[in-house]
Structure 1
Amino acid sequence: MRYIRTGSFKRLFSIKHQSFDENEEEGMPKVSICNDQEENNGSFCSTGSPKSRRYSRTASFKKLFSIKPKSFDFSNDHEEYNDGNFQRRTWKNFSFEEVFRATNGFTLENLVGKGGYAEVYRGVLDDGQEIAVKRLSKISNDERKEKEFLTEIGTLGHVNHPNVLSLLGCCIDNGLYLVFQFSSRGSVASLLHDENLPIMDWRSRYKIGVETALGLHYLHKVCPRRIIHRDIKTSNVLVTADFKPQISDFGLAKWLPSQWTHHSIVPIEGTFGHLAPEYFMHGVVDEKTDVFAFGVFLLEIISGKKPVDGSHQSLHGWAKPILSQGDNQMLVDPRLEGEYNINQLNRLAFAASLCIRKSSTWRPTMSEMPDKDYDYRRNSLIIDLTNCDLH
């Protein structure tokens, strides 16, 4: 995609469900950027996918960063999730002054995370609302990282679910920024592995496992377009004050058109220890790619172990012999000191054992995870919500 217009944008990244081309080679969301100064004369829009047209650094971000923001409304393009139904919502166009003031000038004290292409800062708006500001620096020289940032915007424009991180808006003045609701407890990874934090209890772990399954099920089956996250891991699942997990970081996400069975992707991107065999070896990506990573996610919640330990042994490689013997209690984090529900452990362990199967054909879909009619002995369904207090 080539951005060849300067000036103010009335509708930045206007993403329409109807404009998605299911025959698009890359399976990416279509993005429109319109110049409101030419609106009355037939506004110019550049529409396409990152695969079909190249990003032009000269005409895109260098000019995008110099654009003064004007108000724009996404109310016609985005919908909210509400008990399976969709309702309209809007994003806010934040000014740079707002995000700068909220983060106290992007001070190190407010830096809460740093990823491959962005930094995340905690902030407080003038009305007292806590936010997280994800910033892509304007001095970035990696166009691939810029593409990932745009991918995240395009993907989040089509999703809204309690277990997916909510995008409040963005800022295009003096840089490119995404503004999210703030998840006060940080990531699942920090709750599990930060030695300065209390040991996460079993009830919270089980709640996080079940609700993350709900979020993934939404992305794969309920969202208007199938979304493959490609980087499900504990550091990409954030946690609110009431321990509600929210899937975040959609920089590697892929759309999967309905008539497609998979993507074939090169180069391989993701996190070692979470990569499904078919993806790692052949670049094949579909819903089962996320299912495998979710299995590793469950094992990490159960055991408190990292996906790869100091000896470079993978967590799923360590767990498979234990799971095959049915000795699930050997998986449990010893720091819990036996304080866990054995039935819930068996459910999570069984789910994990199916998710990390080598053949994607034999892995379950996320539709089979959050079901109320679980029968462990019949091995029919996997995670039981009937006796799980999610509130």
Structure 2
Amino acid sequence: MRQLYLRSRSLKRLFSVSIGRRAKGEEEEEEAEVKEETVISQPPQKPSWRCFSFEEIHQATNGFHRDNLVGRGGYAEVYKGVLGDGQTIAVKKLTSASTDEQREKEFLTELGTVGHVKHPNVSALLGCCIDKDLHLVFEFSSLGSVSSNLHDENSPPMAWKLRHKIAVGTARGLHYLHKGCQRRIIHRDIKASNILLTNNFEPQISDFGLARWLPSEWTHRAIAPIEGTFGCLAPEYFMHGIVDEKTDVFAFGVFLLELISGKKPVDGYHKSLLSWAKPYLNDGTIHMLVDPRLGEDYDGGQLKRLTFIASLCIRATATWRPLMSEVLDLIEDGEMLPDSWKMPEEEEEEEEFWGFDDLDEYDSDNLDECDTPSSSFSST
């Protein structure tokens, strides 16, 4: 009876999600949603996703066979599957939570976040399944994640042209989440393993398990517990749990440095990419940041532009980081004016670089290592 009650409640909440509402677990979120709905002038578009039967996804994944397991994160497992019409899918199965209610909340939160998202640089939701368990169904990315391609020691190094294309596409996708959606979406876990690649190497932002939305009248929100990935967390989030668009901007700056250098945000010795990169950014020897596997095969102008953007994004003080609209303008060949981004001398003196030399000393109960496989929808 308990399971039937939960499932009945899920169906009611799913119906509310399908007409444009979000599931909320906290009173402040529910109150904010009411306020947000009063300022939305246009009704939400009908979602394009559909409900799958358990039999469909069970058959597609060969009974969730371990051979089809392609990703695992803190809250979910992802299985590759093939539907009866031949379409390849990724089935995200929620696996862990403290209670059934909490797991249901996490499922509906992600569904409500990504359900109405539609952009070439964001992973497309195909549907969901609430029979017997909770599943989200996405398009499958056969080329895997940026992380798997960038750090595969058995493959040739990723070409500079491709790295630049990925940087531009990811910036477009993140700008869409912040400014193009009906509601502002903060991803909270931008990293190479959560950026998937289509057949033509177009990047797509995936895994919205930690994503949150911000009402238009909010400048930021505080979130607990702090979750995410070591080496990619903005100082204000790590220290105080405060998130807004600038939280993602910081992580995007780390992502740019990873693309340029071929180094992970945190290496096997728990050393920070930011700590390593900062001296080269400061003294202008940016050629030292380039992945040595590329040799001289990179575009110097593009390198100058990407490192300039990265240096702005990883500033410890959120106020002095650019918005993604400004990042997108710069990355798409907008005019670079270093003087316009120069901080006052007193701010520069107080600016502390966010880069741990030894991450072992910090509590990592709710944080992932940067090279931990995520619950992405790929063949990694």
What range is the shorter-chain TM-score in? 0.7 to 0.9
1:292–1:356 contact (8 Å) kept in structure 2: yes
1:220 aligns with 2:222: no
* Residue identity in the other structure for 1:239: L
Q: State the distance in 2 between where 1:156 and 1:377 align.
A: 36
Kindly report which structure 2 residues correspond to 1:21-40, keeping only aligned pairs within 5 A, or say none. 25-26=28-29
Ranges in structure 1 where 5+ consecutive residues have no aligned partner: 31-46, 48-75, 80-87, 382-391
Question: What's the CA shift for 1:115?
Answer: 0.6
CA distance in 2, matches of 1:187, 1:261: 32
Q: Does the 8 Å contact 1:117/1:146 carry over to 2? A: no
Give the secondary structure class of the aligned counterpart of 2:229. coil
Shift of 1:225: 0.6
Kindly indicate whether residue 155 of structure 2 is the aligned counterpart of residue 197 of structure 1: yes
Give the drift of 1:226: 0.6
Q: Residue 138 of structure 2: SS of its match in structure 1?
A: strand
Give the Å deviation of 1:26: 3.3
Q: Deviations over 1:184-233 (max 9, x none)?
A: 11111111112233321111111111110001101111111111111111
Q: Give 1:19 shift.
A: 7.7
**Conservation of the 8 A alpha-carbon contact between 1:123 and 1:133:** yes
In structure 1, the residue matched to 2:65 is 107
Shift of 1:109: 1.6
Equivalent residue for 1:243, pick from 186, 201, 204: 201
- Please name the residue that 1:64 is paired with: none
Question: How far apart, in 2, do the equivalents of 1:116 and 1:354 lie?
Answer: 31
Give me the whole-angstrom Cα distance separating, in 2, the residues matched to 1:169 and 1:146: 16
Q: What residue identity is the alignment partner of 2:29? A: E
Rounded Cα–Cα distance in structure 1 between residues aligned with 2:151 and 2:135: 29
Q: 1:29 to 1:174 in 2, by over 3 A?
A: farther
Distance apart, 1:311 and its partner CA? 3.0
Match of 2:219 in 1: 261
Letter in 2 for 1:376: M
Q: Secondary structure at the match of 2:239?
A: helix
Which residues of 2 match residues 7-86 of structure 1 at below 5 A? Answer: 7=8, 9=11, 12-15=14-17, 16-17=19-20, 25-26=28-29, 79=45
Change (3 A) 1:197 1:379: farther
Structure 2 residue runs without a partner (length 5+):
35-41, 342-380
* Deviations 1:350-385 (CA, angstroms, capped at 9, x unpaired): 11000000111110000012224512355669xxxx
Q: Which has the higher contact order (CA 8 A, sep 6+)?
A: 2
**Shift of the alpha carbon at 1:266?**
2.3
In the alignment, residue 123 of structure 2 is paired with which amino acid? L
- Any idea what the Cα deviations from partners look like across 1:314-334, whole Å, max 9, x if unmatched? 111211111111111110111
Structure 1 residue aligned with 2:354: none
Distance 1:361 1:152, change over 3 A: same
Alignment of 1:269-348 (within 5 A): 269-348=227-306
Report the structure, 1 or 2, having the larger strand content.
Answer: 1
Q: Deviations over 1:130-181 (max 9, x none)?
A: 11111124x7545545433321111012311111110000111121111100
Question: Is structure 2 residue 378 aligned with structure 1 residue 375?
Answer: no
Aligned-pair identity in percent equals 64
Amino acid paired to 1:130:
T
| Residue from 214, 231, 234 that aligns with 2:192 | 234
Partner of 2:83 in structure 1? 125
The residue aligned with 1:384 is: none
Once residues 291 and 235 of structure 1 are traced to their aligned partners in structure 2, the CA distance between those partners, rounded to angstroms, is 17
With over 3 angstroms needed to count, the CA separation of the structure-2 counterparts of 1:252 and 1:13, relative to structure 1, is: farther
Question: Whole-Å Cα distance in 1 between the matches of residues 103 and 279 of structure 2?
Answer: 39
Query: 2:369 is matched with which residue?
Result: none
Q: State the number of aligned residues.
A: 327
CA contact (8 A) 1:20 1:29 kept: no
Q: Structure 1 residues 245 and 379, CA, compared in 2 at 3 Å: closer, same or farther?
A: farther
| Cα 1:367–1:151 shift into 2, 3 Å | same
Equivalent runs, 1:162-173 vs 2, <5 Å: 162-173=120-131
Normalised by the size of structure 2, how large is the TM-score?
A: 0.79
Whether the aligned pair in 2 keeps the contact of 1:168 and 1:181 (CA below 8 Å) is yes
The DSSP-based 3-state class of the residue aligned with 1:220 is helix
3-state SS, counterpart of residue 26 of structure 1 = helix
Q: CA deviation at 1:292?
A: 0.3
Letter of the 1:227 counterpart: I
Change (3 A) 1:127 1:77: farther
The answer for the alignment partner of 1:94 in structure 2 is 52
CA root-mean-square deviation: 2.9
Change (3 A) 1:19 1:239: closer
Following the alignment from structure 2 to structure 1, what is the Cα–Cα distance between the partners of residues 87 and 44? 22
| CA distance in 1: counterparts of 2:108 and 2:272, whole angstroms | 32
1:377–1:141 Cα change, 3 Å: closer
Distance 1:357 1:265 in 2: 21
User: Quick one: which amino acid aligns to residue 359 of structure 1?
Assistant: T
Q: In 2 relative to 1, CA 346–365 (structure 1 residues): closer, same or farther, beyond 3 Å?
A: same
By how many angstroms is 1:99 displaced?
Answer: 0.6
Deviation at 1:92, TM superposition (A): 1.7
